[in-house]
Amino acid sequence: MNATQGHPVMDTTEVLEQYPIMLVDDEKGVRTVLGLLLRDAGYTVHAVASGEEALQLFAEKSYPIVITDIRMPGMSGIDLLRHLKALSSDVEVILISGHADLDVAIQGLQLAASDFITKPINDDMLFIALKRAIERLDMRAKLKAYTANLERLVEEKTAQLVEVERQLAARQAVDGFAFGLKAISSLMTGDQQAFNELPCFIAVHNRFMEIVAVNELYRERLGNLVGHPSWEPYASAAEGGFLPVERAIREGRGARSEHVVRGKDGTEIPVLVHTAPILNNDGEVELVLELSVDERESRRLREELRVTRERFRQLFNESPCHIAVISKDYTLLEANKNYRKTFGFGAGKKCHELFAGSSAPCEECPIQTTLTTGQNKKFEKVVLDREGKPINMLVWTAPLLDTSGKPHEVIEMALDITELRQLQDRLVSLGLLMGSTAHGIKGMLTALDGTVYRIGSGIAKGDAARTQDSLKDLRQTVTRLRKLVLDILYFTKERALELSTIDPAELVRSIALTVADKARDADVVLTPRADGNLGKLEADYAILHSAMVNLVENAVDACQADAKPNHEVRIEVRGEADSLIFCIRDNGIGMSDSVRAKLFTLFFSSKGSGGTGIGLYIARQIITQHGGRIEVESSLGEGSCFTVILPRVQSRF
List the CATH number of the domain containing 604.
3.30.565.10
Q: Last residue of a domain, which of 300, 332, 361?
A: 300
314 CB-contact burial (10 Å; exposed 0-12 / middle 13-18 / buried 19+):
exposed
Q: What does the pLDDT look like over 278-319, one tens digit per residue?
A: 888 788 888 999 998 888 767 777 788 788 778 877 777 777
Task: Please indicate, yes or no, whether residues 631 and 537 belong to a single structural domain of this protein.
Answer: yes
Residue 2: inside a domain, yes or no? Answer: no
Q: What does the pLDDT look like over 521-533, one tens digit per residue?
A: 889 999 999 877 8
Cα–chain center distance at 90? 17
Report the pLDDT value the prediction gives residue 14, as an integer from 0 to 100.
57
Mean predicted confidence (pLDDT) in 58-77: 88
Beta-bridge partner residues of 383 = 391
Any idea what the CATH number is for the domain that residue 81 is in?
A: 3.40.50.2300
Q: Last residue of a domain, which of 492, 511, 532?
A: 492
State residue 213 phi and psi, 5-degree precision. Answer: -160, 150
Residue (of 297, 262, 309, 278) closest to 171 by Cα position? 297
**What is the number of domains present in the chain?**
5
Cα distances (angstroms) measured from residue 293 to each of 111, 278, 416: 64, 20, 52
Any idea what the CATH number is for the domain that residue 475 is in?
A: 1.20.5
Confidence of residue 6 (pLDDT cuts 50, 70, 90): very low
Q: Judging by DSSP bridges, how do beta strands 567-575 and 579-586 pair with one another?
A: antiparallel
Residue 314: inside a domain, yes or no? Answer: no
Report the pLDDT value the prediction gives residue 115, as an integer from 0 to 100.
85
Residue 338: inside a domain, yes or no? Answer: yes
Task: Please indicate, yes or no, whether residues 404 and 430 belong to a single structural domain of this protein.
Answer: no
Amino acid at 56: Q
pLDDT of 653 strictly over 60: no
Cα–Cα distance for residue pair 75/24, rounded to 1 Å: 11
Mean predicted confidence (pLDDT) in 248-268: 88
Kindly report the CA angle at 532 between 527 and 535, in degrees rounded to 5?
Answer: 105
pLDDT of 108 strictly over 50: yes
Residue (of 459, 373, 454, 378) closest to 412 by Cα position? 378
**What secondary structure, in 3-state letters, does 207-272 show?**
CCCEEEEECHHHHHHCCCCCCCECCCCECCCCHHHCCHHHHHHHHCCCEEEEEEEECCCCCEEEEE
Torsion of CA 529, 533, 535, 541, to 10 degrees: 20
Residue 147: inside a domain, yes or no? Answer: no
CB atoms within 10 A of CB 404: 6
State residue 499 phi and psi, 5-degree precision. Answer: -75, 145
Report the pLDDT value the prediction gives residue 180, as an integer from 0 to 100.
42
Instruction: Tell me what percent of the residues of the chain surpass a pLDDT of 90.
Output: 14
Cα–Cα distance for residue pair 632/340, rounded to 1 Å: 38
Amino acid at 88: S
Q: Where are the beta strands (DSSP E) in 336-467?
A: 377-384, 390-401, 407-416
Report the pLDDT value the prediction gives residue 525, as an integer from 0 to 100.
93
Task: Please indicate, yes or no, whether residues 39 and 102 belong to a single structural domain of this protein.
Answer: yes
Q: Which has more pLDDT, 267 or 652?
A: 267
Mean predicted confidence (pLDDT) in 552-572: 91
Cα–Cα distance for residue pair 281/303, rounded to 1 Å: 46
Report the pLDDT value the prediction gives residue 145, as an integer from 0 to 100.
82
Task: Please indicate, yes or no, whether residues 22 and 116 belong to a single structural domain of this protein.
Answer: yes
Q: Indicate the range of 14-23, 73-82, 190-199, 511-520 predicted with least confidence.
A: 190-199
pLDDT of 192 strictly over 80: no
Residue 336 lies in domain? 319-416
- Helix/strand/coil for 627: coil
Any idea what the CATH number is for the domain that residue 192 is in?
A: 3.30.450.20
pLDDT of 177 strictly over 70: no
Residue (of 508, 639, 507, 646) closest to 572 by Cα position? 508
Radius of gyration for the alpha carbons in the chain, expressed in angstroms and rounded: 41
Terminal CA-to-CA distance of the chain, rounded, Å? 44
State residue 370 phi and psi, 5-degree precision. Answer: -65, -40
Angle separating helix axes 102-110 and 418-461, nearest 10 degrees = 160
Mean predicted confidence (pLDDT) in 71-88: 87
Confidence of residue 640 (pLDDT cuts 50, 70, 90): very high
Task: Please indicate, yes or no, whether residues 506 and 636 belong to a single structural domain of this protein.
Answer: yes
Report the pLDDT value the prediction gives residue 491, as an integer from 0 to 100.
55
Residue 578: inside a domain, yes or no? Answer: yes
Residue 145: inside a domain, yes or no? Answer: no
53 CB-contact burial (10 Å; exposed 0-12 / middle 13-18 / buried 19+):
middle
Confidence of residue 157 (pLDDT cuts 50, 70, 90): confident
Task: Please indicate, yes or no, whether residues 616 and 633 belong to a single structural domain of this protein.
Answer: yes
pTM of the model: 0.35
Task: Please indicate, yes or no, whether residues 195 and 265 belong to a single structural domain of this protein.
Answer: yes
Confidence of residue 426 (pLDDT cuts 50, 70, 90): low
For 143-181, letters b (16+ CB in 10 Å) and e give beebeeebeebeeebeeeeeebeebeeebeebbeebeee
Cα–Cα distance for residue pair 73/58, rounded to 1 Å: 19
Task: Please indicate, yes or no, whether residues 627 and 554 belong to a single structural domain of this protein.
Answer: yes
Cα–Cα distance for residue pair 510/503, rounded to 1 Å: 11
Residue (of 377, 432, 374, 436) closest to 408 by Cα position? 374
Residue 640: inside a domain, yes or no? Answer: yes
Q: What does the pLDDT look like over 311-354, one tens digit per residue?
A: 877 777 777 788 888 888 888 888 888 888 887 776 678 877 77
CB atoms within 10 A of CB 353: 18
Cα–Cα distance for residue pair 293/260, rounded to 1 Å: 11
Task: Please indicate, yes or no, whether residues 632 and 506 belong to a single structural domain of this protein.
Answer: yes
pLDDT of 208 strictly over 60: yes
Q: Which has more pLDDT, 546 or 422?
A: 546
Task: Please indicate, yes or no, whether residues 539 and 629 belong to a single structural domain of this protein.
Answer: yes
Torsion of CA 206, 209, 213, 215, to 10 degrees: 120
Task: Please indicate, yes or no, whether residues 459 and 552 belong to a single structural domain of this protein.
Answer: no
Residue 313: inside a domain, yes or no? Answer: no
| H or E element, residue 562 | none
pLDDT of 443 strictly over 60: no
Q: Last residue of a domain, which of 492, 525, 550?
A: 492
Report the pLDDT value the prediction gives residue 480, as an integer from 0 to 100.
63
Task: Please indicate, yes or no, whether residues 608 and 533 belong to a single structural domain of this protein.
Answer: yes
